[in-house]
Structure 1
Amino acid sequence: MTRYLISFDDGAMTFPEEELPAVAEASQAVVREARDAGVWVFGGGLESQRASVVATDGTVADGPYPETKAVLGGFSVIDVPSREDALEWAARIAAACRCAQEVREIMPDPTD
């Protein structure tokens, strides 16, 4: 099996605020389905777009960083047999969250 990161940019969810409870329930339902299917690894929405960047020398710089073109708004990590399966789960998440999702394969852990 292969792990995939499914994510969306902050600001991609452009529906009216009063629809948030329905979107939250729909997205939680997809998570329940993924757990029941045994493919869910981890995921969540990011509370704040303020980030800290820690340099190789340990120096910490706090954001936000306006030069960043896209900022992660939320993500899911799933473990599925194929990219096609990952794309199917991404489509379910996109429908629930009402925004497009990006799918990326996570490199395998060489110690596994």
Structure 2
Amino acid sequence: MDTKPIGDRLVSWLRTVVPGLWSSLIAYLVSLGLPAGVTDALDGLGRTVLVPLVFAGVYALLRAVEAKLPAWATRLLLGSAQTPSYGTSTDGTPVVTSLEEPPAGRPAVGSGR
């Protein structure tokens, strides 16, 4: 099966959104199992805190096991088996290429001018 790679922007979006959706589902399922006294005391704050905490854990876990997963599982859990490529500079450090150049006469952010 010949598959065409998708764009880096879509890959990075998928690899952020899909784990976020999994995290929301897990947080929701966890909240169903919490005793009523806990959910009443936390009210909306519990879900507000629970989802980002679950997201951090799920994302870290998925990235840690990604190399061991088959491609279909990576697509299911991370949204894409492809990793985005941002390019590299001459010293090998990653470069973000999607930022626009500053207008003429205006120094770039971080240029020290």
TM-score by length of 2: 0.28
The answer to which structure, 1 or 2, has the higher relative contact order (CA under 8 A, 6+ apart) is 1
Q: If you compute each CA radius of gyration, which structure gives the higher value, 1 or 2?
A: 2
More strand by share: 1
More helix by share: 2
